[in-house]
Amino acid sequence: MLKDITLGQFFPGNSAIHRMDPRTKLIALIVYIVALFSAGSWLSYGLVFAFLAGTIAISKIPVKAIVRGLKPLVIILVFTGLLNLLFTPGEKVLVAFWRITITLEGVVRAVLMMARILMLISGTFLLTYTTSPIGLTDGLESLLGPLKKIHVPVHELSMMMCIALRFIPTLIEETDKIISAQKARGADFENGKLLERVKALIPILVPLFISAFRRADELATAMECRCYQGGDGRTKMKLLRYKRNDLYAFVLLVLLLVAVIFAARLGL
């Protein structure tokens, strides 16, 4: 079912990670990614992995949920793995037949690249799993705040993002319903030639678009009725404030980054 797509979903909870300031989490993600891409040795990868594993453990997000989110990436992973496996030049040849040579360097590289992608995506998931869409956009807005000086409409952009995120599950649910309803009238989405299958989408897309526009229209009216007029002078119900946990997180992040860079330099 479409509903089982977890991409960008929020898993409500009350762990230290859930309660952390969204800005901290956003910065943490950036630092984490920088660390991940600076890593180049087993030890440095190990450090980044330990950080990820620790964070997952604290957040109490079931590992199953993260694995399920990674499923759609299998093709990319396999592709990356194969490319690195086959096209990495090296000295220690393990297998060689026809035009294919697999080197020890290739194997190591393939494993590390796949690990990198997995860790990159898991880290990103962890952010969206533990942060409500509203928290996320509030954090972004606050972090990008300085850009207002050069007339970037930061508030409007983050509001748009917030609304989009908010409506993803609603639209997925709606799509599910429309698909069922058309199936009940004998619509067939699984069989037939390509053209027929594309045509079979019309009974889904038309009602979906209509309802998306209707919702957008209603939302706009509702916002206007409450005198919404953009970011200027707007106050927030939940003020973002850094707490002690955030401080610890920042210290940990700096340590992680320094350690990883050192480890990578020393080639450990």
CB of 125 to another protein, least distance (A): 14
Stretch that binds another protein, among 31-39, 103-111, 131-139, 184-192 (CB under 8 A): 184-192
Q: Should residue 72 be labelled a site residue for another protein when binding is judged by CB under 8 A?
A: no
Q: By CB under 8 A, name the one of 40, 46, 81, 203 that touches another protein.
A: 203
- Three-class SS of residue 15? coil
Of 43 and 187, the one with the shorter C-beta distance to another protein is: 187
CB of 3 to another protein, least distance (A): 7
Q: What is the DSSP letter of 93?
A: E
- Continuous H helices in 39-153: 42-59, 63-70, 74-87, 104-130, 133-144
How far apart CA 35 and CA 261 sit, in angstroms, is: 7
Query: Which residues lie across from 93 on neighbouring strands?
Result: 103
Q: 37-66: which residues touch another protein (CB under 8 A)?
A: 62, 64-65
Of 45 and 129, the one with the shorter C-beta distance to another protein is: 129
Q: Should residue 185 be labelled a site residue for another protein when binding is judged by CB under 8 A?
A: yes
Q: Should residue 193 be labelled a site residue for another protein when binding is judged by CB under 8 A?
A: no
Q: What is the DSSP letter of 1?
A: -
What spatial distance separates the first Cα and last Cα of the chain, rounded to whole Å? 46
Of 24 and 182, the one with the shorter C-beta distance to another protein is: 182
Yes or no: say if 47 and 259 are a contact pair by the CB < 8 Å rule: yes
CB-based contacts of 107: which residues, under 8 Å, 6+ apart? 85, 94
Q: Should residue 151 be labelled a site residue for another protein when binding is judged by CB under 8 A?
A: no
Q: By CB under 8 A, name the one of 35, 44, 182, 264 that touches another protein.
A: 182
Q: Should residue 216 be labelled a site residue for another protein when binding is judged by CB under 8 A?
A: no
Tokens of 224: 């206007």
Query: Which residues lie across from 102 on neighbouring strands?
Result: 95
Of 180 and 221, the one with the shorter C-beta distance to another protein is: 180
Q: Should residue 8 be labelled a site residue for another protein when binding is judged by CB under 8 A?
A: no
How far apart CA 13 and CA 126 sit, in angstroms, is: 12
Query: Which residues lie across from 53 on neighbouring strands?
Result: none
CB of 207 to another protein, least distance (A): 5
Q: How many residues does the chain have?
A: 268
Q: Should residue 217 be labelled a site residue for another protein when binding is judged by CB under 8 A?
A: no
Q: Which amino acid is at 208?
A: L
Contacts to another protein by CB under 8 A? 3-4, 6, 11, 62, 64-65, 68, 177-178, 180-188, 202-203, 206-207, 210-211
